[in-house]
Amino acid sequence: MSIKIGDKFPEGVFRVKGSDGIKEITTDEYFANKKVVLFALPGAFTPTCSAKHLPGFINNVSSFIDKGISNIACMAVNDPHVMQAWGEVSGVDNKIDMLSDSDCSVAVSLGLDMDFGKVMGHRSKRFAMVVDGNIITHLFVEEVGAFEVSSAENVLSNL
């Protein structure tokens, strides 16, 4: 069953790589007392994710801040090393939190996971949401193969 607007973000763990190694942060800690746009995608360095999804959020950081968003986060079922490297080569420059859902447990708890077959395996569906103090207030889930509703521009137009 998929998560819906008004639900509390489920308990889980994100992993992030920083200068002092890999750290774990619970979803409760991450979303507490702030308004976050979280977007998720099937994988780092994949075509649509690298050419459109991540760049759209990078290019619109100031517009999200102007609308009251405190943090923007990108989640993928990749290890924290890959998420950090992808952020570096994409020019994230600490504007977006690159969150690893390395075991796919967060995507599963949201009901937004999918088996992408032998090449990519079990991953997150493409989606975006606004989480305000651990409560999901906006939710944009893509149909498989689509990239429309979870774009930065669409999320912005709905804030």
The DSSP string of 66-130 is HTT--EEEEEESS-HHHHHHHHHHHT-TTSSEEEE-TTSHHHHHHT-EEE-HHHH-EEEPPEEEE
Task: For residue 112, list its beta bridge partners.
Answer: none
With vertex at residue 91, the alpha carbon angle to CA 142 and CA 121, rounded to the nearest 5 degrees, is 40
49 is catalytic: yes
Q: How far apart are CA 62 and CA 96, in angstroms?
A: 11
Exactly one of 38, 41, 49, 112 is catalytic; which is it? Answer: 49
Q: How far apart are CA 26 and CA 10, in angstroms?
A: 10
Q: Which residues are catalytic?
A: 49
